[in-house]
Amino acid sequence: MNREGKAAGQIPELDSGDLLRELRRRTGRPELEFSEPPKLLGQGGEARVDGFRLSKAPPELDGPLVLRRLAVDRDPREVELERAVHAALAAQGFPVPRVLLVGTDPAPLGSPYLVSERLHGRALLQEVHRPDQLLAHPTRLPGLVGEALFRVPKLLGEVQARLHALDAATFRDDVAKAGVDATRMGYPARLDRVASLIQEHHLSGLAPGLEWLRRHAPESTSEVVCHGDLVFTNLFVDDGAVTGVFDWSCVAVADPAYDMAATLIRLESRIPGVPRVLGPLFRAAQKRLARGYQRSYRLQRSIDAKRVHYFDAFWTLYELTGSGVNLRQGARPVAEVEGRWLHPETIHFGVERFRARTGIELAPLQADESSA
């Protein structure tokens, strides 16, 4: 499920000629050319990211650039949301890339897009996106383990605490002034979206979980700016410092525990495709990473553990709902991190995790039931 609850859709292959024609049109410069043609940097179920560079470009586009295209089924308004979010965060000094162009019309490039500056650095632990290939490069394992156990937890906790220290009211006002409906960014709206998907896609085995979440929702206290998907691959680092935080499609103004729980479910959920011999090492590293991240955050800010447990249950149900939606629409498990919640192993992990938090037994859709 993408961050607004739709099934993961297709992202057309990028035609560099189409991109160049669109950029020439948007800048009014027919002489525009590529000095570095588009190169794929990453792709998930929600977006594809390509890097490129231009010659004869206006000053604002003179430098390394990133093209981010959404899946064809995504709401085109999401690129407007990302632009508004980036601007509001940058106004408070938070490290995000500048969004330079936004295209809500899918026609020129096959899907809505945005162009932003490309920051210096690299994403952390990119190798875990294809765990089945790790044994082909065994010399990388010691460095990856060290980074996962020490560097990544510290950075995650520090960046999230820094985000939560921003002025949430100012952020919400800035986003609203940009024409974005700020009510979409709260937890109640997200819970309502999950409820509508459960009903729409006949995921009745998840309904008891939804009922539990509604009955036990904590009273609202302090609210902060939440990323909603703050994991290591959304951090760019250079020389030990975070240069940028990416993928704000799940941004919210909510309880800080909402954000911590979102990070924990992504750090701890089962990763399919890990070679059997590496399985115990991966699971131990995941637990150590999660503990270190929480410790790093709590050195900066306090947080209510009971609220984290509640929102952990929400995010577990959220992922199982997305899994059910995607399976209903024909998705099949693949051995990649992006598709982990389609796998029986990860679905079972979610069922056990929800039961441990709530005492409720869920019956999510499985791959062999999706056509029923």
pLDDT at 346 exceeding the cut of 80: yes
Q: For 47-88, how does the pLDDT look when each residue is reduced to its tens digit (9 = 90+)?
A: 788 999 999 999 999 999 999 998 777 778 888 989 999 999
315: pLDDT confidence band, cut at 50, 70 and 90?
very high
How confident is the model at residue 77, as a pLDDT?
Answer: 82
Alpha helices in the chain (DSSP H): 16-27, 77-91, 141-146, 152-164, 168-177, 187-200, 207-215, 256-268, 279-298, 305-328, 344-358
| Rounded average pLDDT over 151-160 | 92
| Rounded average pLDDT over 205-232 | 94
Q: For 220-276, how does the pLDDT look when each residue is reduced to its tens digit (9 = 90+)?
A: 788 999 999 998 878 888 877 888 998 888 899 999 999 999 999 999 998 777 777
pLDDT at 112 exceeding the cut of 80: yes
The CATH 3.30.200.20 domain(s) of the chain lie at: 16-118
Burial (CB < 10 A; 0-12, 13-18, 19+), residue 107, is exposed
pLDDT at 151 exceeding the cut of 70: yes
| Rounded average pLDDT over 355-364 | 98
Range name among 81-85, 119-123, 324-328, 363-367 with the lowest pLDDT average: 119-123
286: pLDDT confidence band, cut at 50, 70 and 90?
confident
How confident is the model at residue 127, as a pLDDT?
Answer: 47
292 CB contacts (<8 Å, ≥6 apart)?
149, 150, 152, 153, 154, 157
| Rounded average pLDDT over 280-284 | 79
Compute CA distances 44 → 77, 87, 140, 227, 306, whole Å: 19, 24, 23, 18, 32
- Average pLDDT over the chain reads 87
pLDDT at 1 exceeding the cut of 50: no
Q: Which amino acid is at 169?
A: A
> Given 1.10.40.30, 3.40.50.300, 3.10.580.10, 3.90.1200.10, which CATH number is that of 123-369?
3.90.1200.10
Range name among 113-127, 129-143, 287-301, 336-350 with the lowest pLDDT average: 129-143
Compute CA distances 120 → 76, 123, 327, whole Å: 28, 10, 38
Range name among 27-41, 103-117, 328-342 with the lowest pLDDT average: 328-342
Q: Which fold has domain 16-118?
A: Phosphorylase Kinase; domain 1 (3.30.200)
The CATH 3.90.1200.10 domain(s) of the chain lie at: 123-369
Alpha carbons within 13 angstroms on the beta-carbon side of residue 136 total 5
Angle at the Cα of 359 from the Cα atoms of 356 and 364, rounded to 5 degrees:
85
How confident is the model at residue 5, as a pLDDT?
Answer: 39
How confident is the model at residue 323, as a pLDDT?
Answer: 93
pTM value is 0.86
| Rounded average pLDDT over 347-368 | 95
| Rounded average pLDDT over 287-311 | 95
Would you say 99 and 84 are in contact if contact means Cβ atoms under 8 Å apart? no
Using a pLDDT cut of 70, give the percent of the chain over it. 86
